[in-house]
């Protein structure tokens, strides 16, 4: 499957997206992308331990992926807004909660983590942004 086909398949099949590294600051990319995804009809769960318990995007900010999965149900996709060196731990959490997809944002690259995710059966997108891909692919 080529990149566009994979991205199209992911973005047309996922319903619930956990945004790890979500920020309450409107000028941050994680804030804007999460809001964009919510406007597109996805159920977005913000994940940020420093903001846990706050209301955002019609839901509650969670401290971790494990908490999000426990309180909000299955997570289809984990969108990672963390530095590349921190992405591997998030990918491991995504594997542990049974997410179907990990999506590493622009500039977030961790080949070893991507390999672990693929080996566990997850779909992986790296160094891309769904807020760019959705309009580009006409979704």
- Rounded average pLDDT per 10-residue block, the chain, 139 residues: 90 98 96 97 97 95 97 97 96 97 97 97 97 95
Residue 37: predicted pLDDT: 98
pTM: 0.96
In this structure, the dihedral spanned by the alpha carbons of residues 128, 132, 133 and 138, taken in order and rounded to 10 degrees, is -170
**Superfamily, domain 3-136:** NAD(P)-binding Rossmann-like Domain (3.40.50.720)
Residue 2: predicted pLDDT: 78
Residue 1: predicted pLDDT: 64
- What does the domain layout of the chain look like in residue ranges? 3-136
Dihedral of CA 64/84/98/43: which sign?
positive
C-alpha Rg value of the chain to the nearest Å: 13
């Amino acid at each position: 499957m080529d990149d566009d086909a994979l991205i199209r398949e992911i973005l047309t099949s996922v319903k619930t997206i956990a945004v790890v590294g979500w920020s309450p600051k409107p000028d941050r990319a994680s804030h804007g992308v999460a809001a964009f995804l919510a406007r597109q009809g996805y159920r977005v769960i913000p994940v940020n331990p420093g903001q846990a318990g706050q209301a955002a995007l019609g839901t509650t900010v969670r401290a971790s992926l494990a908490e999000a999965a426990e309180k909000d149900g299955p997570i289809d996709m984990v969108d990672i807004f963390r530095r590349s060196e921190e992405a591997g731990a998030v990918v491991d959490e995504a594997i542990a909660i049974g997410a179907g997809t990990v999506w590493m944002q622009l500039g977030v690259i961790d080949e070893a983590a991507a390999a672990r995710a693929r080996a566990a059966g997850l779909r992986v997108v790296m160094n891309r942004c769904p807020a760019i891909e959705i309009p580009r692919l006409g979704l």
